[in-house]
Structure 1
């Protein structure tokens, strides 16, 4: 593999924006250790799905503030052809005992973000592993055992790894929210002591659970002794989940959503993912002619923000569990005439008339894998908010998600809590293809920011001609609220100059300037096919990640 790493300087420190290219496959992930684990799997002959499971499990160990075994995942996979793209929804539903009265009878008007009661949806990620591995074996000649797929993660949990600065910063930021669960403190806080960046971090309880999954298969997470032990601990902490809830959890293959863009096609996922929002924003921006503006200028931000303001209220009306509605209502939102009307309305200056939207909070991890055959997996997984519910299921070491707080308790809200239904999900992995072939996997973490960051990557790379590393590194914007910050504002990284800020203020935007490389902007990445048969990848300097291939490990 040829290494194309580049170095940038920010705030007096040297930071690597990793990019690489190779013919035998590549991995981009928000933690370098996970990327290297996936690259080693590719070197052993893994296909893209198998290597993605390795990365998924490794991230669950080394990036526990963003993802874990107790979370959900969404996949897009392709054998390299556009006609083969399919989606996998590995997201669990609300427990059968969870009705709106559960919270109202406790005097609550919203579902709590933390604590046992918020551990209310079944994690779907491991069901996704099972379903993806089965497809890999029957369609892609996959042969790796669960031992081969999960041992890298198990060894990372048992032997330890240097603690990332991102994890330490997150622990410090949400200290007051996370110290109420003794099992959480035991695993992550050294009994109420903040760990230090770079120290060796071990998770023996999680390592033991991964050993059980190797021996028994991921299905034991949902049925059997492990499932019973986790449920017993969760119920003791206030969760209402039941055995049948875990047993009923399944992953589901879905048809992806498609949108023509830049002479090719964008692929994303249908509800309960917000993938439709990502496609709509990109489609409206293209119709506004933003492929012809300065990629670092105010016009791109202005057009993106006005598109976002139009799209998010529509998103809130249609993105829910499709099983909850008789006739899904989102298909017309991607029609050419509808997107044209949205762009025309923005040009006409109507953007100040839009209703507010219900913010999509949360943090996630996106990663992608391409193998030597050009088969690709674009995957995003999450605990929802940082460290999820903050509740560890006893001796299992499994940190449970709090995705259920995306439900509403208002009866007329499209996101109203219904037992057995999946909540609204921000997670939306993406692919781009042209002339019959998949050319790019791309994505980002970051709630409301995911569709906006995806648009920034698409325009800067595909339409403005920036290379992947430059497109990922470039300063970004975010319109919307974030977890822990209730203010809806347009945030800009400080690398945007005074002229850009002044123009945006003249156009009516209320700005907040954040750090030069802010976590609020998400951790993004790109894998891109080159005409010569090579793939090139880029990882976000805002994360602890990197790009790795079989030739680099």
Structure 2
């Protein structure tokens, strides 16, 4: 039997049970949902290093009890030295996915914690930073148990990751990868966390720690310099939003693909489907075809250019344009699909406290283990988000020093017409908007219990790790008649194993008007819901 977790005083969900527990303990100590997420995110950085870390980026949605919703953008910019000439002189025609040349943007995650704490301090006196980073420091210093997903990815990717000496020493054990159940420590990361607790989160970007980070990056061949770190700041602002028949939906603005996530649900809403028969042909086909329309827009319009955000806001607030897009969807035929794919692994986490303050947050290194560049003095794994830039002088996501790269990261939230508030999200690059739409439509449109909405078999359109085709990937367990109808409509179906990690690690928490909290985590992850 699949059960959704329920509680009243607070709840945290994440893809690792120790991180969820770290966040809940902060709530029990009187912290806000924002502080709980910082404890959760930092702990994930210590116990789930293949998916996230301080060397990555982060985005937040904070839904306040008074109806306000705030977004935090902590996307690191491309280094000033990362020019086309920089890569061409090194013999690169494209930006590598691994190594120092891939570690070409500032890591923004820690700055997002700082920006979020400023918001939390407006609500109540903050807990000491040392308390928020306590569990992360403990696991970094005393050891974590290696998960099956980390061990499996190390085996699969070791040939890509063995060039960095610090990475090899920390995780490959002289070319012999870790196995599930091994215990591994990162004392340098523990020291970094202690430094941040003592000197403040801004010390990641200026001062002795920042100089040490910059020196290690330079030694690894990265173009990121101390001046790039000094110039970094997270920004706060309004999220993207759109009105639907279910309520108001929120996501993050470009350079993230948040607009695609909102478009899928907005277009699906306009198809006027009944609220029966979850995972029917109409349900799956409708979401998939809405995904195609949303991704066509995303793949040409969403990046770090200033006009990208304004255009996304205009589209989401224009019912005529949205209806025109929905009208392009045929409920009988699949639109041909061979679009480019956006990769990415990440961690989504959510928290709601007793006041109703709600957080949807996502933090990532981009690829598993990021660039594979581990900084020996700080114990940080650095992201490779800037590998998505194109070596060209203009156009979509063109390499431009100081620009933000296109981001797959996008945390979601919704204020529903019946008074419920929902925070939800997932890892998975191309799959993030699709899985968000699947979970939301199953639970909100069709009434499937929340945990079941996440645990049930899923689908994903497009290329994924290890699969070069643009087919519709489907886990086993769907009605064979539905699969047959999808094939008849023109969908190329490819079956994946049950509970495939390729389908992402999703989670959600909902707060009801009476204060009841219900949460769910993904059986494809190592996660848990922690509530009290």
Please state which band the TM-score falls in when normalised by the shorter chain. Answer: over 0.9
Is 1:342 the counterpart of 2:325 in the alignment?
yes
Q: 2:365 — aligned with what? A: 383
Q: 2:304 — aligned with what? A: 321
Q: Which of 488, 505, 511 in structure 2 is aligned with 1:506?
A: 488
Q: 1:242 — aligned with what? A: 225
Is 1:198 the counterpart of 2:181 in the alignment?
yes
Structure 1 position 201, deviation (Å)? 2.3
Q: 1:31 — aligned with what? A: 16
Q: Does structure 2 conserve the Cα–Cα contact (< 8 Å) formed by 1:80 and 1:437?
A: no
220 and 448 in structure 1: CA distance in 2 versus 1, 3 angstrom threshold: same
Is 1:400 the counterpart of 2:382 in the alignment?
yes
Q: Does structure 2 conserve the Cα–Cα contact (< 8 Å) formed by 1:67 and 1:381?
A: yes
Q: Which of 145, 153, 164 in structure 1 is aligned with 2:136?
A: 153
Is 1:477 the counterpart of 2:477 in the alignment?
no
436 and 416 in structure 1: CA distance in 2 versus 1, 3 angstrom threshold: farther
104 and 290 in structure 1: CA distance in 2 versus 1, 3 angstrom threshold: farther
Structure 1 position 118, deviation (Å)? 0.7
Q: 2:356 — aligned with what? A: 374
Q: 2:433 — aligned with what? A: 451
Is 1:77 the counterpart of 2:65 in the alignment?
no
- CA–CA distance in 2 between the matches of 1:299 and 1:511? 16
> Following superposition of structure 1 onto structure 2, how do residues 7-406 of structure 1 map, counting pairs within 5 Å?
7=2, 19-82=4-67, 84-138=68-122, 140-323=123-306, 325=307, 328-334=310-316, 335-347=318-330, 352=335, 356-406=338-388
Question: Which ranges in structure 2 are unaligned for 5 or more consecutive residues?
Answer: none
TM-score for the superposition, normalised by structure 2: 0.96
The DSSP-based 3-state class of the residue aligned with 1:399 is strand
Q: Does structure 1 conserve the Cα–Cα contact (< 8 Å) formed by 2:345 and 2:364?
A: yes
Q: Deviations over 1:209-258 (max 9, x none)?
A: 11111121221211111111121121112111111100011000121111
Q: Does structure 2 conserve the Cα–Cα contact (< 8 Å) formed by 1:260 and 1:266?
A: yes
**Number of equivalences:** 531
Structure 1 position 434, deviation (Å)? 2.8
The DSSP-based 3-state class of the residue aligned with 1:36 is helix
Is 1:460 the counterpart of 2:460 in the alignment?
no
- CA–CA distance in 2 between the matches of 1:437 and 1:381? 28
The DSSP-based 3-state class of the residue aligned with 1:54 is helix
Q: Does structure 2 conserve the Cα–Cα contact (< 8 Å) formed by 1:155 and 1:207?
A: yes
The DSSP-based 3-state class of the residue aligned with 1:265 is strand
Q: Does structure 2 conserve the Cα–Cα contact (< 8 Å) formed by 1:80 and 1:438?
A: no
Structure 1 position 444, deviation (Å)? 0.8
Q: 2:395 — aligned with what? A: 413
50 and 326 in structure 1: CA distance in 2 versus 1, 3 angstrom threshold: closer
Q: Does structure 2 conserve the Cα–Cα contact (< 8 Å) formed by 1:280 and 1:333?
A: no
327 and 391 in structure 1: CA distance in 2 versus 1, 3 angstrom threshold: closer
131 and 436 in structure 1: CA distance in 2 versus 1, 3 angstrom threshold: farther
Is 1:539 the counterpart of 2:521 in the alignment?
yes
Q: Deviations over 1:361-415 (max 9, x none)?
A: 0111001000011101100010001100000012211000000011112334311
438 and 186 in structure 1: CA distance in 2 versus 1, 3 angstrom threshold: farther
- CA–CA distance in 2 between the matches of 1:453 and 1:185? 34
Q: 1:14 — aligned with what? A: none
Is 1:530 the counterpart of 2:493 in the alignment?
no
Structure 1 position 102, deviation (Å)? 2.0
Q: Deviations over 1:276-327 (max 9, x none)?
A: 000001111111134535212222221111111111121122211244x498
The DSSP-based 3-state class of the residue aligned with 1:136 is helix
Structure 1 position 482, deviation (Å)? 2.1
Q: Does structure 2 conserve the Cα–Cα contact (< 8 Å) formed by 1:95 and 1:121?
A: yes
When the two chains are superposed, the root-mean-square deviation of aligned CA atoms in Å is 1.8
Structure 1 position 349, deviation (Å)? 6.6
- CA–CA distance in 2 between the matches of 1:520 and 1:150? 30
Q: Does structure 1 conserve the Cα–Cα contact (< 8 Å) formed by 2:37 and 2:350?
A: yes
Q: Does structure 2 conserve the Cα–Cα contact (< 8 Å) formed by 1:79 and 1:375?
A: yes
493 and 506 in structure 1: CA distance in 2 versus 1, 3 angstrom threshold: same
535 and 291 in structure 1: CA distance in 2 versus 1, 3 angstrom threshold: farther
Q: Does structure 2 conserve the Cα–Cα contact (< 8 Å) formed by 1:19 and 1:546?
A: no
- Runs of 4+ with deviation above 6 angstroms: none
The DSSP-based 3-state class of the residue aligned with 1:431 is strand
